[in-house]
Amino acid sequence: MIKIAVLGYGTVGSGVVEVIARNQARVLESAGEEIAVKYILDLREFPGDPFEDKVIHDFSTILNDAEISIVCETMGGVGPAYQFTKQALEAGKSVCTSNKELVAKHGTELLSIAADRHCNYLFEASVGGGIPIIRPISTSLTAEQIESVTGILNGTTNYILTKMETEHADYHDVLKLAQELGYAERNPEADVEGHDAGRKIAILTALVTGREVDAEKIYTEGITGICSADFVFASEKGMKIKLLARSRIREDGKISVLVAPFMIPLEHPLSSVDDVFNGVVLTGNMLGDTLFYGRGAGKLPTASAVAADVIDCARNQGRTIMRGWGPEKAEMADAAEEERRFFVRCAASAASQVAEAFWGKDNTEASEGIFLAEEFGFFTPVIREKDFREKCRELGECVSGAIRLL
């Protein structure tokens, strides 16, 4: 029998305990041995909980117990979670986690300790919730040169954007609902400002390049600037608005990464990824596009991915199966030099001034502009990010909103 410890009995931690208990027979069959939760570490007591007798408050009990070979870190954050993970790995105990913040910030070091101690640091649940994405990149697509990764990687914001689009719901009401459903981060700013998606694309990009990607250097825009008028224009144009995390591995070896809302055509595979679902399109040089789709947040889907990692650790005791990436840093391209088209919205009275600023005087018909209510919306030609921002600065308050086009 394999004994494990769960650090943090919150949404995901309690989900891991539940998945292992409810799917006991399947877990046994997959792992080849029974897996039992011996300890649950949390600051709180859980009177009346079926697993209350497993709750402890001192991590050293876990660290010093030779029977514990696998630890699930579902605490979140980069404080105690980092210390506990490091100590567990140094003691040769494998660690499975959903903690993308920790993987993005200290993954390089933690993967290296795991390799030195012949154990594993696995983090399938850290990106895409329950969607298998880390394992396919590490084991199935190893002959591919991955050219780009494009994903809807945050369930909370996708849920909010979907409800704003389909139910004309109020942003704050939907955010509250997402929190109640257990989708949002403790501080939902990380979701709505795009930082959570930024950490996830950093992890995926590190995996496909084999190099460390600094999440803090990724250009990130969240969804707080999106309003109901944007959805009306998008729908008129046969497009949807999605928060995309996107990385492109350029021919010069640099990586171009950003997180931002995009207008995407209905024909794009990610346009039908709605609600809390996540989707990732990986483009390989031999395979072309592959879409991964599933529940990107929530207790049981995320816990299922952590439990699958536990099973992998159980099957591979004494053997490191995931190298992840090394200490060399990926070189980031300057996001301001990227070229693309934009959707621009302005007051109807400023339509010709704003359209001319991008298209020139005789060319504004090419902008596919439309008037709706008191506003005018159009598409710019391909333009460098930095030139676009400069023009918007010059136009000042004439521009009411702008969204990148995919």
- Active site residue ranges: 200
Q: Which is nearer to ligand HSE, 42 or 193 (CB)?
A: 193
Which of 14, 148, 150, 154 contacts ligand HSE by CB under 6 A? 154
Q: Which is nearer to ligand HSE, 94 or 156 (CB)?
A: 156
- Minimum distance between the CB of residue 15 and ligand HSE, rounded to whole angstroms? 12
Is 342 strand, coil or helix?
A: strand
- Minimum distance between the CB of residue 56 and ligand HSE, rounded to whole angstroms? 26
Which of 101, 165, 185, 309 contacts ligand HSE by CB under 6 A? 185
Distance, C-alpha 242 to centroid of its chain:
13
With contacts defined by CB under 6 A, name the span among 67-75, 181-189, 210-218, 247-255 that binds ligand HSE. 181-189
With contacts defined by CB under 6 A, name the span among 49-57, 153-161, 221-229, 383-391 that binds ligand HSE. 153-161
Q: Does 183 bind ligand HSE (CB under 6 A)?
A: yes
Q: Which is nearer to ligand HSE, 162 or 256 (CB)?
A: 162
Question: Order of strands across the sheet with 121-122?
Answer: 55-56, 35-41, 2-7, 68-73, 94-97, 121-122
Q: Which is nearer to ligand HSE, 151 or 369 (CB)?
A: 151
**Binders in 35-74 for ligand HSE, by CB under 6 A:** none
Closest by Cα among 404, 248, 403, 206 to 333: 248
With contacts defined by CB under 6 A, name the span among 34-42, 76-84, 151-159, 307-315 that binds ligand HSE. 151-159
- For residues 375, 378, 383, 386, the Cα torsion angle rounded to the nearest 10 degrees is 20
Cβ 91 vs Cβ 116: under 8 Å: no
As a whole number of angstroms, the distance between CA 10 and CA 98 comes to 12
Kindly write down the DSSP assignment for every residue of 247-307, as one continuous string.
EEE-TTS-EEEEEEEEEEETTSGGGG--TTEEEEEEEETTTEEEEEEEE-SSHHHHHHHHH
Closest by Cα among 221, 134, 130, 228 to 174: 228
With contacts defined by CB under 6 A, name the span among 79-87, 165-173, 180-188, 285-293 that binds ligand HSE. 180-188
As a whole number of angstroms, the distance between CA 299 and CA 309 comes to 16
CA terminus-to-terminus distance, the chain: 50
Q: Which is nearer to ligand HSE, 201 or 297 (CB)?
A: 297
Is 100 strand, coil or helix?
A: helix
Identity at 73, one-letter amino acid code: E
Which of 191, 193, 212, 385 contacts ligand HSE by CB under 6 A? 191
Q: Does 196 bind ligand HSE (CB under 6 A)?
A: yes
Q: Does 357 bind ligand HSE (CB under 6 A)?
A: no
- Minimum distance between the CB of residue 1 and ligand HSE, rounded to whole angstroms? 31
Cβ 272 vs Cβ 265: under 8 Å: no
Cβ 124 vs Cβ 132: under 8 Å: yes
Size of the residue set binding ligand HSE (CB under 6 A)? 11
Closest by Cα among 297, 296, 288, 292 to 280: 292
Q: Which is nearer to ligand HSE, 156 or 247 (CB)?
A: 156
- Minimum distance between the CB of residue 405 and ligand HSE, rounded to whole angstroms? 24
Overall residue count recorded for the chain in this entry: 406
Q: Which is nearer to ligand HSE, 30 or 179 (CB)?
A: 179
Which of 8, 13, 76, 129 contacts ligand HSE by CB under 6 A? 129
Contacts of 38 (CB under 8 A, 6+ apart): 3, 4, 5, 54, 65, 67, 68
**Binders in 275-334 for ligand HSE, by CB under 6 A:** 296-297
As a whole number of angstroms, the distance between CA 349 and CA 335 comes to 32
Question: Which residue of the chain is nearest ligand HSE when measured via CB?
Answer: 156
Q: Are strands 2-7 and 68-73 parallel, antiparallel or unpaired?
A: parallel
- Minimum distance between the CB of residue 185 and ligand HSE, rounded to whole angstroms? 4
Q: Which is nearer to ligand HSE, 55 or 306 (CB)?
A: 306
- Minimum distance between the CB of residue 154 and ligand HSE, rounded to whole angstroms? 4
- Minimum distance between the CB of residue 70 and ligand HSE, rounded to whole angstroms? 21
Site residues, ligand HSE (CB under 6 A) = 129, 154-156, 183-185, 191, 196, 296-297
